A and B are shown apart, each in its own frame.
Chain A
Amino acid sequence: MSKSGVLKIALAGNPNCGKSTVFNALTGARQHVGNWPGKTVEKKEGAFRLDGREINVVDLPGTYSLSAYSPEEVIARNFIVDEKPDVVIAVVDAANLERNLYLTMQVLELGVPVAIALNMSDVAEARGIRIDLERLSKLLGGVPVVRTVGVRNQGIQELVQDALAAAQAAAPDFKVNYGPDIENELAKLEQMSGEHPEIATRFKLRWLSIKLMENETDVVAAVAEMPGGSELVSSAQYSIAHLEAIYGDDADIAFADRRYGFISGLTRQVVSRTRPDRLTVSDRIDQVVANRVLGIPVFLLMMYLVFRMVQDVSAPFLDWVDGVIAGPISHWIIALLTAIGAPEWLQSLVVDGIVAGVGGVLVFLPGLMVLYLFLALLEDSGYMARAAFVMDRFMSLLGLHGKSFIPLILGFGCAVPAIYATRTLENERDRILTGLLVPLMSCSARLPVYVVFGLAFFGADAGKLIWAMYALGILVAMLMGVIFSHTIFPRDKDAAFVLELPPYHMPTLRGLLYHMWEHTSGFVKKAGTVILLVSVLLWFLLNLPWGVENQRDSLFGKVSATVAPVLEPLGFGDWETAGSLVSGFIAKEIVVSTMSQIYVDTEQVAEEGVETTLGEDLIEIFSGFGTAASDAGRELLSIIPGVNLTAGEIRMEDTALTAALRTHFTPLAAIALVAFVSLYVPCVATLGAIRHEYGWKWVVFSAGYQLSLAWIVAFSVFQGGKLLGLG
């Protein structure tokens, strides 16, 4: 027991065993999500109180084993070995006992107190699978086994009671018999390691001997550094050679073989089936969804629907949030600041810097919430795993696996959640490589730039320019994928695509909303702070030296003018364009608003011109929300082919801007500029996400390579076009 009196529980389990539902049922809202130190693996911690006792719960990463083959496994194992939780709850999918017990056995072999949660037991029962709890407990050395249904909070109380009891008792006496050949070698190693006190206090000796013989690199390395360790390691190597000569196979395979042998004997005694389980409903769905002919069309249809939902359903809400922030909220703050007699510069800082910055984040929220809701639906229902399977072949052309497709698709919405979504990938190489390609997907913030330039220069053909830019992003991403996987990210021949496909099931509303909330609030916290800081910084740049009248003379104007000559060969070397691009670094859609501020140089029409009362503001807010909701509803219906409730409206806003653009750019330069915007540096929030996930090194790399890429492409477009006589 920890000295502090706080009890520590760790949750271990396979992916898809419902571990997070057990975690949520245990801790409720008292959770903290962060990263494991130095890793891009998510760490979830929570706490609850029982009988006045504080109990901390750590959700270990979902793994199939506790070896050292992935960062998740190393984290889970090291936590149990080094942090010594008072009890480990092994969460097991009751409908999949045989495979799930593999991990449980490894936890038991660590010699720590364990309680087993036989989770999703309702699903198992529905499928006619019966499990003899008492027998299972006995065969596993007397550990408590509790039937649970995490999503419905069933069995959780009993699980806690049993886990606490297990924490007080001695660790269960559990041993797998590996057969005389292996046991002989294990006994020798155990005896040897027992002679070195430092080793004997740090490790459970039988477990250590097993790990040394499985040749697990990190354990071997740790032991080799301890007194008497190198001797121990070399005699383990000798044992391995001896075994491999007997079995004609790798020693670690022999261990896995024995464990599965034990498990299959155990399940024969413990599990009974009331009916044979041949083709399940899931298999039937897969015959359509993962079909060799239909698989890809079904996938594309799904993605199209998600996209339409995000774009169409969220757009009305987006306008509403934008309107509320620029309108009532700004009015109220100005009124409040005036009332307390704040100087004008402070008002400007708060409204133009802070409120505008926070607004820039909030404006994305409706879209993100819709996106996360649908992704949670695809994920929780089990479809996402199939999508990865279907797309695997295509992705392998880019040196990636099927799973990488999901973050890339997310990138069309917003790169920030897309970067965080790379967490689901198995190894660091895939995570970083995917993260480098994500910002090349044209996110929704780049669309306004395409639309404004498309309408200004190509009128009715604007759509073609927009599609061309989406295609450009995808093509460049494919090209970069091929290049990266042949240079800095060599393919790992041994990292094949292997993925468990969980059975399809109906997601619960609670689960969907929970995931939506979890991801959205994460985005606000992480991206929000970065955008806020940079917005304030930009405000200062625009207003320094203090009291500057003309933007050209501000620090911002000067920086822009310094950058401008670099852009000259691309067809847009004036400081205004450079300035717009620099500000687009905060969020891509700002490029348009900066241009309209700089180019359309009439005095900015003061938005606070109209006096409104509090009542009018409130009415505007709520009626605006109503309109947004009904618009979203109509858009939703219009996704069904043949239903069109929104008469084809092209928003021809800002005609002054389009006219101004035509005088500043040639059509060729406009295409070069749009291409540049589609590829250049990821926005601040994305870089923030990249730093958070992969570290500073990749922030620099990502910004650098995309900037060069954008320059090269825009240069080729402009100069190539001129050579062809198009300029």
Chain B
Amino acid sequence: MCPLSMAPTGEPMKIVDVRAGCRLRHRLSNLGLLPGTVVEVVQSLGHGPVILAVGDTRLALGRGASHKVLVEPASSVD
């Protein structure tokens, strides 16, 4: 398990937890970033900011947000 900011690019990752205040959690959940969602890092600026693929959507997350979303490889569960 690691924060999104450190996740490898190009691999499906599953969100395990969002460790943030309720407003940020809510905003992320509105965009579909919920525990259980499978995402993929398409592009990383290093040390934090990432571009994520969530289905057909591309989301940019600043480093603050990407540190707070914990993921694990999607294949390791199920």
Q: What is the interface of chain A, defined by CB distance below 8 A to chain B?
A: 64-65, 67, 69, 95-96, 98-99, 102, 127, 129, 249-250, 252-253, 256-257, 260, 277, 279, 282-283, 286-287, 290-292, 295, 385-386, 388-390, 392-393, 396, 401-402, 493-501, 503
Contacts and interface: CB of A to CB of B under 8 A. Distances in A.
Contacts of A69: 23, 26-27, 30
Given A64-B31, A283-B42, A295-B45, A501 B65 contact: no
A385 B36 contact: no
Contacts of A396: 62-64
Contacts of A501: 51, 58-60
B60 A257 contact: no
Contacts of B51: 286, 290, 389, 501
Nearest to A401: B62
Contacts of A499: 59-60
A127 B36 CA distance: 26
A493 B56 contact: no
Interface in B1-36: 20-32, 34-36
Q: List the 3 closest pairs (A to B, CB-CB), nearest first.
A: A497-B62, A496-B65, A256-B29
Nearest to A63: B30
A498 B26 contact: no
Nearest to B28: A498
B57 interface: yes
Given A286-B43, A498-B28, A99 B65 contact: no
B48 interface: yes
B57 A282 contact: no
B56 A98 contact: yes
Contacts of B26: 67, 69, 252-253, 256
Contacts of A495: 23-24
Nearest to B18: A253
Contacts of B45: 290, 292, 295, 389-390, 393
B45 to A, nearest CB: 5
A127 B56 CA distance: 10
A250 B29 CA distance: 11
Given A393-B48, A493-B21, A498 B55 contact: no
Which one of B23, B27, B35, B62 has the greatest number of beta carbons of chain A within 10 Å? B62
A64 B30 contact: yes
A99 B23 contact: no
B57 A253 contact: no
A263 to B, nearest CB: 9
25 contacts: A64-B30, A65-B30, A67-B26, A67-B30, A69-B23, A69-B27, A129-B56, A252-B22, A257-B36, A260-B34, A282-B58, A283-B53, A295-B45, A392-B49, A392-B60, A393-B63, A402-B62, A494-B23, A496-B20, A496-B62, A497-B49, A498-B60, A498-B62, A500-B60, A501-B59
Contact of A496 (B42, B54, B64): B64
Given A69-B26, A256-B30, A295-B45, A500 B62 contact: no
Contacts of A249: 35
Which of B32, B36, B54 has the largest count of A CB atoms less than 10 A from its CB?
A: B32
Contacts of A253: 25-26, 29, 34-35
A485 to B, nearest CB: 14
Contacts of A64: 30-31
Nearest to A283: B42
Contact of B60 (A129, A250, A494, A497): A497
A257 B63 CA distance: 24
A291 B25 CA distance: 27
B24 A494 contact: yes
A398 B20 CA distance: 22
Given A65-B30, A98-B55, A253-B34, A290 B24 contact: no
A277 B40 CA distance: 13
A697 B46 CA distance: 41
Nearest to A291: B43
A352 to B, nearest CB: 52
Nearest to A492: B23
Nearest to B24: A494
A464 to B, nearest CB: 34
B20 to A, nearest CB: 7
Contacts of B21: 493-494
Contacts of B62: 389, 392-393, 396, 401-402, 496-498
A243 to B, nearest CB: 15
A443 B52 CA distance: 37
Contacts of B58: 282-283, 286, 500-501, 503
Contact of B42 (A95, A286, A493): A286
Nearest to B60: A389
A379 to B, nearest CB: 15
A396 B24 CA distance: 17
Given A286-B42, A291-B43, 11 more contacts: A64-B30, A67-B30, A98-B55, A250-B25, A252-B29, A292-B44, A292-B45, A388-B60, A392-B62, A393-B49, A396-B64
Contacts of A393: 45, 48-49, 62-63
A292 B41 CA distance: 14
B34 A257 contact: yes
A503 B53 CA distance: 12
A388 B59 CA distance: 12
B54 A498 contact: no
Nearest to A256: B29
Contacts of A494: 20-24
A595 B60 CA distance: 50
Contacts of B20: 494, 496
A667 to B, nearest CB: 45
Contacts of B27: 69, 498
A65 B21 CA distance: 18
B43 A496 contact: no
A250 B45 CA distance: 31
Contacts of B68: 496
A723 to B, nearest CB: 43
A498 B32 contact: no
A102 B56 contact: no
B25 to A, nearest CB: 6
Contacts of A250: 22, 25
A458 to B, nearest CB: 41
B64 A497 contact: yes
Nearest to A129: B56
A498 B61 contact: yes
A388 B21 CA distance: 23
Contacts of A295: 45
Contacts of B29: 252-253, 256-257
Given A67-B30, A260-B34, A290-B43, A496 B55 contact: no
A497 B61 contact: yes
Contacts of B53: 283
Contacts of B59: 498-501
B53 to A, nearest CB: 8
Nearest to B20: A494
